Structures are given as C-alpha cells and as structure tokens.
Chain A
C-alpha cells in the first residue's frame, strides 16, 4: 500500500503466547539503544526472568505477569522510551517512512498471529513521527487506528488528562484511543465505549479497534471516510479500500459490504 504515501505505517499483531501469564511490552527507543542494559535493570526491579527480541527500532520484552507498575517505572527511570503496546497477545510496531520500507525493516513476513491491524498514514494536522503513527495503544491488548479528523480533540485531551489518561502527543487519533481507554476504565464494554464515542467525538472518523480476541469498527454518522468489510467462514477483514482485502485467500467467495454509519460492529469477545 506504499502508494498511499510515505508518511508512516504500523501494525498491531495479536499472537497469544503459549504461556498465558506472559506479558508483552513493545518499546520504542532512539537508535543504538542498549536493550541489554534495560533487560538487566528491569529484571532486577521485577526480580524476574525477562527476555526480549529486537525488531528494528522496537524491542519486544516478554516478562511474567506482574502487579508492578511498569508504566510508572518506565516513565520515571527511562523517559527516553515509549511504550507502544502492552498486553498478553498484542505487539505494536510502527515507524515513519514508506510502508514497504517498514514491512522490510521489521521483517513483517516473519510474524504470525490470530489477527492484526495495519495502518498507513497520510498526516494532516500533526507531525510525522514514530510516536504519531498508528496503531495507538488503548490499554492492555487494545489498539486503535483512525481515518479522519477530530475537531474537539484539544478539549477532549485536556479532559482525559484530568481523568489520568496518559496521552503522549498532540495527535487527534491518540485522543480517540485515550477516550476509549477512559471509557473502558469506567466500566464500559467495548461496544458501550464506542457507542459513547458517537456522542463525545466531534469530527469525522472511521475507527478500527483491535481487541485480544477480535476487533471492532465504527464510522461517524456522516460516514464520509470509506470502509469495506469482507467475511467468509474462515476470516473477517476490514479496510478503507477493497484492494487491501483483494489478496486474501477465499476473497472471491467472501460476503462484502459497507459498514453502516453510526453503527458499532464487534467481532470476538469484549
């Protein structure tokens, strides 16, 4: 999909570990980072066995599940690091530049999983950086990609920060991610959180949300941002353009349709 532009690309891959108590952290750091030192330091802080694998500018750390506040620790001890995702199944990788370079750099063909979200960005209102790229983490094993533009993101961002939601950039899509994180922490199901988003997000959007065992889709009531869904007995896929789906096995027999405006679609559990 490189002809969609050279800004940035990213993926969230859901791959359940064999040991369900394993926690995965995708971290992004400046180039030449000493991941070994971080492994030693984190191992000591947690008093646990930790492993990691480097994927280009990211490293995926695997550690035993813990009550330890990793977010807080990393923010304090390593402000140079960014947590791209945290959870049992999710792994987020994203980088600026042409999508095809991203795919090569991170050797995406070597990954596997139960489901994934990919995104290519054409930046409109905020900078082109790794941190501004999609998908945005929306909490444990959750992520979001957004096509559109939110007009009330400044007000919503300051509101969410007051609720204790960590929002790292001035990007509007990250505010949508933070909003979902907040609603879920307030006890909403994913469906309820997205229904509330219809009331509270002002602007235009098609959202795709990844969950540990599925995903969700929401378009704003005007629905000028495109979306197409395809479903077979074996898989379901959503994209902005059909050509992203056209290469999937069995697509010729897929049921293909366009999601309705202001309607929440959820696959998998919540």
Chain B
C-alpha cells in the first residue's frame, strides 16, 4: 500500500501516481480540504482518504473504489464513469453531477443539486438531499433515505428517484409514480450495494411526467 500525506506530498504527486500506477491500494492522509483529490483515476484502484476533501474529489472516476472518511466539498464524483465513491460524512452541492455510471454513496446528507444532470450514475444518500436535486437528470437512480428539499427532479428526463422521507415542492414535470415489484427489486439492489437496510416499501418513486421534454414512446429504448 502506498501512502500520501498531503501536508507533505503535493496533490499533483498523488494524482499523477493514481493516474500512472497500477498499485491498487492508496491511502491519503491530511487532505485538509484540498480540491480535486483523486480526480481522474482510470483503473481499478482502492483509494482511502482520511479527512475532509474540497471540491471535485473523485471527479471523472473510472473503475476505482474511493472512500472519503470525512466530508466532501462541491462536486464530489462529478462526471463519474464507473467504480464506487463512498463519502462517510456529508457532501456539498452537486454531488455526482452529470455522472455516467458507477455508484456514489453519501452516508451523511447531500446538499443542493445532488445528481444534477446525472446520466446513468446510481446515487444513494443515507441522509437528506438539498433543493433542486436530480435537476434535468437523464438516467440512473437517485435514492434518498432521508428527506428531499424543494424542486426535486425539476425538468427530469428518465432518471428514477426514490425517497424514503418527505419531499418539498416537486420540481416542474416531476411526479410521484407507482412503485412496482421491479422498482422494489432495483431499490433493494441499490440499498444493498450501499450497505443500507431499509424496507423498500418505505420509499416512494418519482419520475418524469414527460410533458416538458419531447418524449416519443416509440424511441423509449433509446433512453
């Protein structure tokens, strides 16, 4: 295992190592809120970060498993492609923004605009999410085990949102939908992946009313 102490080692040294090296276990200490920690990792690394990180931690992640033992600033796992990012504390705004794949787990609360423009990522938040979460979300799942703030799923495309707690005013074109057995199974899979154990029937499902964007049922396979 390789260790980086960001009090001593530079962020560039850490990220360059993560980009270049096939070493699959990296331990980062003293991140002290630095930005872009472990951004752009492109192989099957296992990265553990002890402390709070700043903006864009694990951004663009592909394949890697990245755990933050602390809080994450804005844009954690933004544009993630695959892999798993787990934040043990809370996450600031636009967590998982425009993520294409992989799983982001936030064990605390996530702030506003969680999953904005998500394109296939699965996001599981053990706590609450702030306002405008799932804004223009296109594909993937957003699971909220706590409450969701105002304007959830505004201008939603085909992403699926599950909320266990209360929901503020719904965003434009976002509606509550029936929870089928398939949805319960999907939700159970997501919760299990996050290590959470809530009965799936405690959740409600939200999706797009498909009135705001040009949706053609004949092209449903394309979504």
Q: Which residues of A contact B (CB under 8 A)?
A: 222-224, 226, 228, 241-247, 256-258, 261
Q: Which residues of the other chain, B, contact A222 by a CB distance below 8 angstroms?
A: 132
Interface string of B84-122 (1 = CB under 8 A from A): 000001101100000000000000000110000000000
Asked if A247 and B32 make an inter-chain contact with CB atoms under 8 angstroms apart, the answer reads yes
Q: Which residues of the other chain, B, contact A245 by a CB distance below 8 angstroms?
A: 33
Q: Which residues of B contact A (CB under 8 A)?
A: 32-35, 52, 54-55, 71, 73-74, 89-90, 92-93, 111-112, 130-132
Q: Which residues of the other chain, B, contact A226 by a CB distance below 8 angstroms?
A: 73-74, 92-93
Q: A226-B73, A261-B112 are in contact. Are A243 and B92 (CB under 8 A)?
A: no
What is the bound-complex CA distance between A222 and B116, given in angstroms? 14
Cβ-closest chain B residue relative to A256: B71
Asked if B32 and A246 make an inter-chain contact with CB atoms under 8 angstroms apart, the answer reads yes
Cβ-closest chain A residue relative to B112: A223
Distance (Å) between the CB of A69 and the closest chain B CB?
45
Give the residue of A223, A224, A242, A261 whose beta carbon is less than 8 angstroms from that of B71: A242
Distance (Å) between the CB of B117 and the closest chain A CB?
14
Q: A226-B92, A228-B73, A261-B112 are in contact. Are A241 and B55 (CB under 8 A)?
A: yes
Q: Which residues of the other chain, A, contact B73 by a CB distance below 8 angstroms?
A: 226, 228, 241-242
What is the bound-complex CA distance between A125 and B71, given in angstroms? 33
Q: Which residues of the other chain, B, contact A257 by a CB distance below 8 angstroms?
A: 90
Asked if B112 and A243 make an inter-chain contact with CB atoms under 8 angstroms apart, the answer reads no
Asked if B93 and A242 make an inter-chain contact with CB atoms under 8 angstroms apart, the answer reads no
Q: A258-B92, A258-B111, A261-B112 are in contact. Are A243 and B74 (CB under 8 A)?
A: no
What is the bound-complex CA distance between A243 and B35, given in angstroms? 9
With A241-B35, A243-B54 already in contact, 8 other A-B pairs whose C-beta atoms are closer than 8 Å: A223-B130, A228-B73, A228-B92, A241-B54, A241-B55, A247-B32, A256-B71, A258-B130
Asked if A242 and B112 make an inter-chain contact with CB atoms under 8 angstroms apart, the answer reads no
Distance (Å) between the CB of A214 and the closest chain B CB?
24
Distance (Å) between the CB of A43 and the closest chain B CB?
48
What is the bound-complex CA distance between A82 and B98, given in angstroms? 47
What is the bound-complex CA distance between A215 and B222, given in angstroms? 53
Asked if A242 and B52 make an inter-chain contact with CB atoms under 8 angstroms apart, the answer reads yes
Asked if A261 and B92 make an inter-chain contact with CB atoms under 8 angstroms apart, the answer reads no
Q: Which residues of the other chain, B, contact A256 by a CB distance below 8 angstroms?
A: 52, 71, 89-90
What is the bound-complex CA distance between A247 and B30, given in angstroms? 11
A-B pairs, top 5 by smallest CB distance, nearest first, are A243-B33, A242-B33, A246-B32, A246-B33, A258-B111
Would you give 9 A-B contacts (Cβ < 8 Å), ordered by A? A223-B93, A223-B130, A226-B74, A241-B55, A243-B35, A244-B33, A246-B52, A247-B32, A258-B92
Cβ-closest chain A residue relative to B32: A246
Cβ-closest chain A residue relative to B92: A258
What is the bound-complex CA distance between A242 and B73, given in angstroms? 7
Distance (Å) between the CB of A15 and the closest chain B CB?
27
Q: Which residues of the other chain, A, contact B32 by a CB distance below 8 angstroms?
A: 243, 246-247
What is the bound-complex CA distance between A226 and B73, given in angstroms? 9
What is the bound-complex CA distance between A246 and B33, given in angstroms? 7
What is the bound-complex CA distance between A261 and B133, given in angstroms? 14
What is the bound-complex CA distance between A120 and B191, given in angstroms? 42
Cβ-closest chain B residue relative to A252: B51
What is the bound-complex CA distance between A200 and B54, given in angstroms? 32
Q: A226-B74, A256-B71, A258-B111 are in contact. Are A243 and B90 (CB under 8 A)?
A: no
Cβ-closest chain B residue relative to A258: B111
Cβ-closest chain A residue relative to B74: A226
Asked if B93 and A224 make an inter-chain contact with CB atoms under 8 angstroms apart, the answer reads yes
Distance (Å) between the CB of B217 and the closest chain A CB?
34
Residue picked from B52, B54, B74, B93, most chain A C-beta under 10 Å:
B52
What is the bound-complex CA distance between A238 and B30, given in angstroms? 20
Distance (Å) between the CB of B98 and the closest chain A CB?
16
Q: Which residues of the other chain, B, contact A261 by a CB distance below 8 angstroms?
A: 112, 130-131
Distance (Å) between the CB of A235 and the closest chain B CB?
17
Distance (Å) between the CB of B187 and the closest chain A CB?
27
What is the bound-complex CA distance between A223 and B150, given in angstroms? 13
What is the bound-complex CA distance between A223 and B94, given in angstroms? 11
